[in-house]
């Protein structure tokens, strides 16, 4: 089912279930249903456009992340007191901050720090989740019990609180933030991997490989891992937006790189004292974060539909 269908069916169900709506006349409820179907049709009609735009924006963000000097020509750390708090213009596309630094350049270089940290977090979560999930499901017994109880403990702690606890213990900075968020995201991947491994382990070709004397390690790499990677990849795409938000949040709270390093969260924090006079300092980096998360979510939903 497409995201548009999901939105339509969810809202439609909510309207029907609402006590206020049930008390409305039949004609009014029918009009609401017609309006909802019209919204759903509009979303479906533009789903291809939204996917294309999301893909293009994601490509731009990835280029900015890995080749920031190619996108931004200005020095993100060069201060210019004569041009502080300038609004967006042809000379400074995103304006300047409280030190006269070019905000477009700092946003581009902030993409490098934030997206790189997010990818590192996902790598830690995916690799750790695969190892724990496969070991738990394939070995079973006491190993399964111990590993899953450890995962349950991690799941019982709110992700942001767990990330803050870890980064406080290991130190501040972009890499510690990535490690902390990766560990906090690991339980979801471990549970998904375990569930998929349990399904695959009982299939005929895996049982035939066991009977034939194939080594467990070869079975894991030849049969289990390659079948588990699909669902785990979809989960990674779905979590990518949430990981970016977590990285930006910890950076906003001051756990990220030290100034004057540029990160999206720290850029938003830089402008919080100037929201009335210079709104763009916080608004534009925040808007970039929102667009990145939305783009990742749209692409993840399309990937999820392709896996079905």
pLDDT in tens, 117-158: 999 999 999 999 999 999 999 888 899 999 999 999 999 999
Q: How many CB atoms lie within 10 A of CB 306?
A: 9
Model confidence pTM above 0.75: yes
Computed over every residue of the chain, the mean pLDDT equals 83
Peptide bond preceding 175: is omega within 30 degrees of 0, i.e. cis? no
Region 35-48 average pLDDT: 52
Render 221-258 in DSSP notation, one character per residue. IIIIHHHHHHHHHHHHHHHHHHHHHHHHHHHHTT-SSP
Q: How confident is the model at residue 37 (pLDDT cuts 50, 70, 90)?
A: low
Region 72-76 average pLDDT: 88
Q: How confident is the model at residue 8 (pLDDT cuts 50, 70, 90)?
A: very low
Residue 203: what pLDDT? Answer: 84
Residue 127: what pLDDT? Answer: 95
pLDDT in tens, 174-211: 999 999 999 999 999 999 999 999 988 888 888 888 77
pLDDT in tens, 222-256: 888 888 988 898 889 889 989 999 999 999 999 98
Residue 32 has pLDDT above 50, yes or no: no
């Amino acid at each position: 089912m497409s995201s548009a269908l999901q939105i339509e069916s969810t809202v439609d169900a909510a309207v029907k279930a609402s006590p206020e709506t049930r008390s409305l006349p039949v004609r009014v409820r029918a009009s609401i249903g017609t309006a909802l179907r019209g919204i759903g049709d509009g979303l479906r009609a533009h789903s291809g456009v939204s996917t294309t735009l999301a893909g293009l924006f994601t490509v731009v963000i990835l280029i900015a992340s890995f080749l920031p000097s190619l996108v931004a020509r200005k020095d993100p750390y060069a201060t210019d007191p004569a041009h502080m708090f300038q609004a967006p213009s042809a000379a400074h596309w995103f304006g300047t901050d409280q030190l006269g630094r070019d905000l477009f350049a700092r946003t581009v270089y902030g993409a490098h720090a934030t997206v790189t940290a997010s990818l590192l977090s996902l790598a830690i979560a995916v690799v750790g989740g695969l190892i724990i999930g496969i070991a738990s499901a394939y070995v079973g017994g006491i190993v399964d019990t111990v590993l899953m109880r450890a995962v349950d403990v991690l799941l019982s702690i709110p992700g942001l609180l767990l990330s803050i606890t870890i980064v406080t213990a290991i130190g501040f900075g972009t890499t510690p933030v990535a490690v902390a968020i990766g560990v906090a995201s690991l339980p979801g991947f471990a549970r998904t991997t375990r569930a998929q491994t349990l399904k695959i382990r009982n299939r005929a070709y895996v049982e035939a490989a066991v009977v034939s004397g194939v080594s467990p390690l070869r079975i894991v790499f030849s049969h289990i891992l390659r079948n588990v990677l699909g669902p785990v990849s979809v989960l990674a795409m779905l979590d990518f937006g949430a990981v970016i938000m977590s990285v930006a949040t910890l950076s906003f709270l001051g756990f990220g790189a030290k100034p004057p390093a540029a990160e999206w969260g720290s850029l938003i924090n830089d402008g919080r004292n100037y929201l009335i006079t210079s709104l763009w300092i916080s608004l534009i980096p925040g808007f970039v974060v929102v667009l990145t998360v939305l783009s990742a979510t749209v692409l993840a939903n399309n990937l999820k539909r392709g896996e079905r």
